Each structure stands twice: as C-alpha cells, then as structure tokens.
Amino acid sequence: MLPLNDTAMALLLAAVVVLPLLGAAAALLPAPPGLRGSGPEQAVLRHGVTVTGVVLVAALLLALGFDHDHPATVQAETDVSWVPALDIRIHLGIDGISLPLLVLTALLTFLCALHSYFRMPEGPSAKGFVALLLVLEAGTLATFAVLDLMLFFLAFETVLIPMYFLIARWGGARRGPAAWKFILYTLLGSVVMLLGLLLVGLEAGTFDMVTLTTDNAPGADGPALGHTAQLLAVLSIGLGLAVKTPMWPLHSWLPDAHTAAPTVGSVLLAGVLLKMGTYGFVRILLPVAPDGMRTFAPYLAALAVAGIVYGSLVCLALARRGAGGDLKRLIAYSSVGHMGFVLLGIATLTRTGVNGALFANVAHGLITGLLFFLVGALKDRTGTTDLDRLAGRTGAALYGRVPRFGGLLAFAAVASLGLPGLAGFWGELLALLGAFHPADGLSRPAYLVFTAVGAFGTLLTAAYLLVVVRRVCMGDPDERPAAIPVGEGEENASPGANASPARAEPPSRTADASPVPVALPDVRGHEFAAWTPLVVLTVLAGLWPAALLGLTDPAVQDLLPGVTR
Amino acid sequence: MTATVAADVVQSADVVQSVDWLAIAPPVVAAVAGLAVLVLDLFLPEARKHLLGPVSCAGLALAGLALLPLLDGDRSTFCLTAEPDVCSYVADPFTLAVQLLVLGGAFVAALLSTASVRDERLPAGEFWFLLLSSAAGAALLPASRDLATLVVALEVASLPAFALVGLRRGDRLSSEAALKFFLSSVTATAVMLLGVSFVYAATGSLHLTTVADALPGEDARLETVAMTGVVLTLVGFAFKTAAAPFHFWVPDTYVGAPLPVAAYLSVVGKAVGFSGLILVTVVAFPRYDHVWGPALAVLAALTMTVGNVAALRQDTGRAHGAVRLLAWSSVGQAGYLLVPLAAAGGADSPTEAIGATVAYALVYAVVNLGAFAVAAHVRTRSAAHRVDDYRGLYARHPLAALALGFFLLCLAGLPPGVIGLFAKVAVFRTAVDAGLGWLAVVMAVNVVIALFYYLRWTALLFLPAEEAAPARVARSAPARADADSAAAGVRTATAVRTVDGVRTARPVRISAPVTAAVALTGVLAVALSGAPQLVLRFASTTLL
C-alpha cells in the first residue's frame, strides 16, 4: 500500500526492535531540561508513552509498506553477521505470520504504557517500571522479527527478567512466589529448548530459519535433519515452547503469575508473551522438523484438548458461588483453554488448522488483553477481583451501576467465548475444522475424538463466561452485597500478607463486612482511549477475517509443503 | 626451566642459546616489578608505603602491554639446540590469551587490593611482592611446554598465594584458610610430581611434544608406568582446578583470605589450573584421550553439580555468605570450564574445543572479578558480609547495583548478560558436537540451578531496604545499621539511629580504585555483550 523500498523497510524493522532498548536506557537517565514535565514520575511515564507510540507508528508503517501480494516471502530483511564464531547472524525479517503478531505487540505495549501513564501501578519508582516495560517490548518484538535460532532464543529469554521484576515489584498479593514460579518454569523449559536448538543448528549446519525451511521444502535434496534428530528437536524445543504457551499440564505457573501481576503485566503476559510459545511451534518446529512433528502431533493434540477441557472446568469451578474465585485467575485459566485451541490447530498439521491457530493467537491477544484491562479497572474501582465479594447475593450489577463498563465487560466475555461475528470465533472454528480433517498420516478417528472434546470445551467456555457475566454485570444495583465469609479459598489469603506496609491495600479483612462502594465511576477518558482499539479490532477481525487469513495463509502454505487442506 | 637449559648447554656446549627476551617479557616484567617492590619497600618511609600499590598496578599493566608486540606471530625460545622445534617456552595464541587473562585478572585484583591493604593493615611490601610473584608464575605457566617448567611455574604461582591467604595476621580464620589451602595444594603437587616422574621414566623426555610422540611407549612393560604417570599428573591438576572431589578447600580459603586475594584465586588460580590441564591433556597426552576424556567428563559433571547445589543451599543470612556463595559458584563454573576439555577427548579437533574453555574463562574472569569488586565495596560497610547485606544496594549505589546485577546475570547466562549466555552456548556446542549429550543435559540442569541463586541475589539488590529492616537491625545492629539506613525512608533511618546511635544515613562513597575496577569490568562486560565475537573467536580458532 505504501511504496517503501527495501532499505526503508529493513530500517523500520530494525528500528522497531532497537528503539525500545534505547528507550529503556534513556528512561534510566535523568530527563533533559524541557522534557521534565510536572515531575520525574510523570516525565518518565510520558517517555514510555512516546517511545511505545513511536514503535507502534513504525510497526504500522511496516504493515502498510508490507507487500500484501506476497505475504509468504520474507520482507524488510536485514542479514548481518554478528558472532561468526558461533555462526550467529542478526537476521531480521517479517512475513505474513509474524507481521500480525508484531503489530499486536506494538499496539498492546502502547496501550499498556498509556494505561500506566494515567494509572501507575502501586510499587517503586516509575523509572524502573518504564525501563522494564520497554525491555519487555524489545524482547517480544525481537522474538517475532528474528530469523536466526540463537537470536530467537536470546529474544525469548530477554523477556524473562523484565517480566519477573514487573510481577515481583509491582504486583499484588503473593507476588514473590508467583514471580519465582514464572521464571523457574520458563527457564527450565528454555534451557532444554536451547539444547534442542543447538542440536538442530549443529546437525543442519546453520541456525538460519529461512535456510532451514528451504532445506526441507520439496525439491531440496532431502531434509536437513535425520529422523532421530527431528524427534529429539521436537521433544526438547517443544518442551520449552509448551511451557511458555502454556500447554496442559505445564501451565501451573500461569494462574499465579496472572493473579499476582499488575494489570499491565497481565495484559502483556496473556496478550503477547504466550504467543511466543505458539509462534515458535509454527515458525521453527513445523518447517524444521516436519517428521518429528508428525510423530508427536497426536500427543500434542491430546494434551491440547485436555487443556481446553481442564481450563474450562477450572473456570466453571471458580465462577461458582461461594468458591471464592478470583476474576484474574479465572481469565488466566481461560487462557489455558484458549491456547489449547491454538495448539490443537497446530497439531492438525493442516493449513486450515495452522491458520486457525494463528488467527486464534491474535484474537486471544486482543480479547484477553481487553479482559485483563477491564478486570484491572474493576479492581481499581472496587478494590477486589474476588467474584463472591463483588457479586454479593444477587450480582455486582455493573449494568445498572456503570452501564458502559458493564457493557464492555459483557462484550469482552462473549468475544472470548467465541460468538460468531467477533474475533474469538474464527480461530476456534478453523482449529476444530482442521482437527476434523487432519493431515494425511494422522489417525482420523483420534482427531475426531479431539474435535468432539474440543467442541464440548467451547460449550463449557460459554457456560462459565455467561456465569461470570451474570454474576458481575447483572444483579440488583440497589442491593448492598452481603458479607461473604472470607478465608476458605486459597485466593482469599489476606492481600497484605506479603506486601509492604507502605503499599495501599485493598479493603482489608475488617472492611469485608462493608459493601463494595455503591457509586462507581464509569469508563474514564483514558480507559476509553486504551480499550477502543481493542474493541474495534475484535469486531473487525470477527467481521472481516480475510484480512488476517490472507496474510497468514500463503506463508502457512510454504511452511506445510505438500499439504492441500 | 633452568634445569633443562643447563642440560641443553651441557649437551651441545659449542652452541650458545639465544633468548628471545621479547617473548618472555610478560612474566619477566611481572617478576621484576615484584622484586622492585620488595626493594622499594625497604627504602620507603612508613608514610609513603601506600605508593607501592600504584607501582605494582603499573608493573602489571606494563606486563600486559608487553603482550602487544607478540601478537604478530608465534614465537618460541629455550629450544633444544639439537631439535630447534622442541621448545620450553612458546608464545602462541593460547599463551597470549591466558597471559592476558592472568595479567588482567591480577591487575583488577591489585586495584581492589589498594584499598584492602590500607584498611586491613596488611604488610604492604610483602603483599605486593607476593601478588606480583604469583602473577609472574601464572603468566609463565601457559607458555611452558615441558613438564619441569610447568611444575615450576605452577609452584611459583601457588606458593605466594598461600602466604597471601594467610596474610591477615592474628585472624584465626585466615590462618586456617591458609593451612587448608597449603595442605591440599602441597598434596596435589606431590601427586603431580610423582606422575611427572613416571611419565619421564616411561618416555625419557619432559618436553610435551616429545612425550606425546613417545607415549604409549614401544616397550609394553612401560605401559603401566606411563598410564599411572598420566593419571597421577591429571589428579594433581584436578586438585589445582578445585574440581570435585578436590574442591573442599575452596569456600573456607576464600572466606579466610582478604577479599581481593579471593578474587585473585577465583580467576587467576583457576586459569593456572586450567591452562596446565589443557597443556598436559591436549598437548602431552593426546594418545590417552580415551582415558582422560571420559574421566574429565565425569569430573565436570560432578564439579558443577557439587558447586551449584552447595551454592543453592547457602543461607542468605549466613555470615560471609556472599563470598561463600561466590566460592561455590566458582566451583560450579569450573565444572563448565571442564566440559570443552572433556569434549576435546572425543572431538575431531581438540584444539577447537579447548578454545571454548579459553573463551569461557575470559568471560568468567571479567564478570567474576566485577562481582568481587562490588563485593569489596559492600564488605567495607558490613563486616559480616552476608548476602542479605546487598538488599537495597540499588537505592544506595544505583550504578554499583546495576553493575553487580549485570555481572550476576552474565554468570547465570541470562539476557541482558548476553556474553554469559553465548559463552555457555559455545561450551554446550562442544559437548553436543562431541556426542556428550548426557553431559550437555547435566550442564543444562546445573545452569537452571545456578540461575536460581544468581537471580535470588540479583532480586535482592533491587528490593527496598526497609521491608525487613527493623527485626534485622535489632539482631545485628553494628553490621547492618548503615547498610539499611542509607536506602530506607525516614522511618527506618530513625529506627537505626535509635538502635545504633552513631551511624549516619548517608551512603558511603566507593573508593576510587574499587570504582575503577567496577567500571573496567563493567565496560568490558557490556562491550563483550555487544560484540561477543571479540572473545568467542577463540572458540572457533586453533589456539595451540
């Protein structure tokens, strides 16, 4: 659409990756005169908004300059040798698979920066917060932009430290253990992944993803990797990616991390970080180790549907009255289910399924990002995310008390359950369709069972989300929620248990008896600004899925040579 | 060296050996500087003794600069007059890389020592003389290519180190540390000498290349002697590298020694052991790679596991915990350093594999010295020097805390410590390449274990000091007081004052040499992270 030449595109992509890093360094320096603003905190938060804004603009320019007629070819390519000793090259480039994720990341991070500008999470200085946010952005953008296995690993790991600190320093109750759990799980997976990547690189003689892909394409002189190497590669790399995704049963870090993380952390964790795992499956494992994937695909699919059902059942249990369910935790578990659909799509090894997976990836980023924003805002207003405390006897009655807010929450919930016409629908539909007709060589009956179980999972998803809508949005606005005895569920531990005395605590135990404040502010201006893009994109992706599928499908065809469905 | 030279002279008395002074300049300059300091100490009045520190640093810097003219090609000297390609001293890329590591490490340790010598009232003349002598021996070792020179260099490097460890007079911990270190090291030397004598008996030569050709010996009856000699020599070097199960002296020695000496031992001492091990395995005993390859692999797995598990179990509240943790972590890192060596036993090109060890050792030297430099500062403020004392360092000294965080992440191998990660990748590569998959997996597990304690420490740096302050201050007021008060809010500061009464809440300034050491290592670590090729090129070239 925009006529940009190759150099300009390459520079834009490099800028997208490097700018946040420079911005992070600059955030730590004192503000120059003229940019001091009303105070150091405000200045650095504004700096964060500026940098992420510029990155978003650059990412949008990239999307506009992208040659939409050839989404399968790698564009905006940079290829420079970095560490010849280890054969590591700075190889950047985007195609139809990575572009949507790149733009999604830039958008979500910008919205997060905007959100924190108006509402900085409780915790130490804003300087560190902004710097970590920008490093996080650099790491995720780099993950989607690099085409070298070692660089991919480097980018994959870069996000850990900032996310750890975001949770551990700016999080809520139980943030310390949750942050530990997050980083240990991910590290354990990624060290194994490193071994797998090394194996691939040494066996094939290159770390370059493009070369590895073309080596396995039909017409090339045989696959670059032997069968055993492929199996080992899928096992080890897959393990690292599965922890990140997260795949059941490796998911148990996720609910804790989400519950403890600040709103911004949850949004980025769900919206972007989880996608790095599934992106790795599509980008690395599918083309590099096709034989290995074919062997393990049924197991992956089985675990994926187990995750779908498990996530939904946990959510149903959490949504029940008296269960003491935490809304953030509920959404976290719903992510396990949604990512299950993504994995199921990939495990079908069909074009339909993989396209569905990529679509569901983006849709989940939009919808769950929105949900976490909303729940964060709800916590700001009411001081709690505990469903029982919120809902009281009849319900929290957000429709009645804050109609716009309640409407948005209901919108996000139905989008999440996959209502046709919204973004959540297409990904899950395509994944299930792919599973109905899996690739040749995969057992059709087994996949039919997976399809059935997955479809049942959508029903459960609808069930718990509707329960949530009923309990949070509906109810009698004039009724004051009665005190619910607190203390039976693990989520009900005192919020201040390991928070410092200086932290502003949500209503403590003694306040439990008193009702949630009746007068709640409706959607504020900045919240409106932060959420509108997500809402618009959710509707757009739901009504015009071709925009996204047109980008991914040609690239997916290249990844799955010889597959016709 | 003199012995062989004398023997050579007797052998062919008509030829006078010419010595390539340029080639041997690095160790010689260090040794001469040591002697000069010893003499200078006699003539300087007490008030001027502090000048000895800068003089020693300058001597080490000069020795380091002496490496520059050697870059253009291999040089060798002290060669047999009959066989000019059999030499006792060779300045090849391997030698230069290790000499750079040793002299650079000694230089940073010397920077740290200037403050330490003054504050701990160590005898200046002796201290600097011992440090420089040890550095001279360490610089000689990688260049030596016969077993006699190797042993002599090793002893020149170690003997002064015993004295350095025990230099804190009247400190029981220090004397105990020195004794432990001395006994274990002397045992190692005795075992090694026995091994060397067996090898000499079996081959009739001390020169490494000649030994390599002569082994396993035409005479089958000598096979057992040769084999025993090889094994005993290796055991001796394993002692020196503090590989498990010969590692037990490390933590106590590091804790008892003055902190800069511990830093010196952890980097230069290790480098000495490793370069010796590389020389004997790859150069002298390549025919026995089926023996030492697997043995070193087991040793590597054992060493890293022992070191990391022990480090993991360190209580952050224990006295001297920080140095103890660094000591155990250095044992763990020694395990990683052994991996490429073990891989060299099975690799097609052993010299390329050992390049990974050299590269890793260089990276480790920079970041470990950096960590010790920051520790040297924290130590001046809290006598107990627990890991907990690092809580809130960021609030007091943001740059020092950032630097330490970076060093620890480099040691852990986690971005942003890119160079630490890539150095580990280079090591992993050699293991996977040589088919030692199980060792790679053991190392991967160890990396994760190590991440845990490095990260725990890193996280501590950025915590606000106030959270746990009141209880702890009450428990150990003198040690903690100013550490806490500096960063904490007004409330804590007043609490500290009521307990301690005297201390001020202002952060203590970091002394200039320590700042220089932190800055030097910090800049190096960041530069290497940006351009890893600078050091990783060793991992892809033939060094020997």
The tens digit of pLDDT for each residue in B9-54 reads 445 444 567 888 889 999 999 999 999 999 999 998 888 888 899 9
Residue B451 with chain A: CB contacts under 8 Å: 183-184, 187
- CB atoms under 10 Å from CB of B476, counted, come to 17
CB A529 within 8 A of CB A73: no
Q: How far apart are the first and last CA of chain B?
A: 20
Would you state the pLDDT for residue B495? 39
Strands (E), B251-401: none
Rg (CA), chain A: 23
Q: Helix A209-216 crosses helix A149-158 at what angle (to 10 degrees)?
A: 130
- The answer, yes or no, to whether residue A16 has pLDDT greater than 90, is yes
Which residue among A84, A128, A168 sits closest to B533, beta carbon to beta carbon?
Answer: A84
Q: What average pLDDT does chain A have?
A: 86
- B89: helix, strand or coil: strand
CA distance A102 to A141: 6
DSSP-derived letter for residue A148 is B
Among residues A300, A237, A282, the alpha carbon closest in space to that of A557 is found at A282
Residue A490 DSSP code = G
Distance CA B241, CA B483 (A): 35
**How many whole angstroms separate alpha carbon A93 and alpha carbon A9?**
9
pLDDT > 70? residue A490 = no
Closest CA–CA distance from residue A495 to any residue of chain B (Å): 16
Contact A85 B540 (CB under 8 A): yes
Give the pLDDT score at B482. Answer: 41
What confidence tens digit (pLDDT) does each residue in B322-364 have?
999 999 999 999 999 999 999 988 777 777 788 899 999 999 9
CA of B425 to nearest chain A CA: how many angstroms apart?
A: 8
Q: What is the pLDDT of residue A40?
A: 78
- Looking at residues B170-182, what average pLDDT do you find? 84
Mind listing the pLDDT tens digit for each residue in B228-269?
Answer: 888 899 888 888 888 878 888 888 889 888 899 999 999 999
pLDDT at B218: 64
- Yes or no, beta carbons of A202 and B433 under 8 Å apart: yes
Q: Return phi, psi of residue A78, to 5°.
A: -125, 135
Task: Determine the distance from the C-alpha atom of residue B504 to the mean position of all C-alpha atoms in its chain, rounded to a whole number.
Answer: 37
B499 has pLDDT over 50: no
Res. B220 pLDDT band, cuts 50 70 90 = confident
Cβ separation B415–A157 shorter than 8 A: yes
Domain that residue B529 falls in:
303-544
**CB-CB under 8 Å, A192 with B432:** no
Q: Which amino acid is at B455?
A: L
Find out whether A241 and A323 touch, Cβ atoms under 8 Å: no
pLDDT at A142: 94
Task: Flag whether B326 is in a domain.
Answer: yes
Q: Is the pLDDT confidence value at A285 over 70?
A: yes
Pairing relationship of beta strands A88-94 and B75-79 according to DSSP bridges: unpaired
Please answer whether residues A172 and A278 qualify as being in contact, where contact means their C-beta atoms are separated by less than 8 angstroms. no
Q: Do A191 and B447 touch (CB under 8 A)?
A: yes
Q: Calculate helix-pair angle for B93-119, B512-530, nearest 10 degrees.
A: 150
Of A113-117, A314-318, B482-486, B524-528, the least confident = B482-486
- Whether A509 shows a pLDDT value over 80: the answer reads no
How many other C-beta atoms can be found within 10 angstroms of the C-beta atom of residue A175? 24
Residues A9-36 have a mean pLDDT of 87
- Spell out which residues of chain A touch residue B533, defining contact as CB-CB under 8 Å: 82-85
Q: Is residue B156 one of the residues assigned to a domain?
A: no
Shortest CA gap A72–chain B (Å): 31
User: CA dist A370 to A256, A261, B317, Å?
Assistant: 19, 15, 43
Q: Do B532 and A195 make contact, defined as CB atoms within 8 angstroms? A: no
Does B241 reside within a domain? no
Average the pLDDT over B440-459 and give the result.
90
Across the interface, do B429 and A88 touch by the CB < 8 Å criterion?
no
**Quick one: DSSP state of residue A86?**
G
Question: Based on the number of CB atoms within 10 Å of its own CB, is A38 exposed (0-12), middle (13-18) or buried (19 or more)?
Answer: exposed
Report the pLDDT value the prediction gives residue A29, as an integer from 0 to 100.
84
Task: Write phi, then psi, for A90 (nearest 5 degrees).
Answer: -85, 90
Q: Is the pLDDT higher at B416 or at B154? A: B154
Distance from CA of A326 to the nearest CA of B (A): 27
Contact between B536 and A86 using a beta-carbon 8 Å cutoff: yes
Q: What angle do CA B54, B56, B57 make, to 5 degrees?
A: 65
Q: What is the DSSP string of A425-475?
A: HHHHHHHHHHHHSPPTTS-HHHHHHHHHHHHHHHHHHHHHHHHHHHHHH-S
What local confidence, expressed as pLDDT, does residue B83 receive? 83
Please give the pLDDT value at position B217: 63
* pLDDT score for B371: 95
B144, β-bridge pairs: B89
A142 to chain B, closest Cα gap in Å: 13
Task: Examine the pLDDT at B376 and tell me if it is beyond 80.
Answer: yes
pTM of the model: 0.88
How does the average pLDDT of chain B come out, rounded? 84
Residue with the bigger pLDDT between A30 and A146: it is A146
Chain A positions in Cβ-Cβ contact with residue B466 (cut-off 8 Å): 500, 502
**pLDDT of amino acid A416:** 92
More confident residue, B427 or A1: B427
Q: Are A280 and A306 in contact (CB under 8 A)?
A: no
Confidence (pLDDT) at B226: 86
User: A151-162 pLDDT, tens per residue?
Assistant: 999 999 999 889
The whole-angstrom separation of Cα A34 and Cα A36 is: 6
Residues 416-475 of B with CB under 8 A from A: 416, 418, 421-422, 425-426, 428-429, 432-433, 440-441, 444-445, 447-448, 451-452, 455, 459, 462, 464, 466-467
If pLDDT is split at 50, 70 and 90, which confidence band does B4 have? low
Checking if the pLDDT of A339 tops 50, the result is yes
Q: Please report, rounded to a whole number, the percentage of residues in chain B having pLDDT higher than 90.
A: 44
How many domains are there within chain B? 1
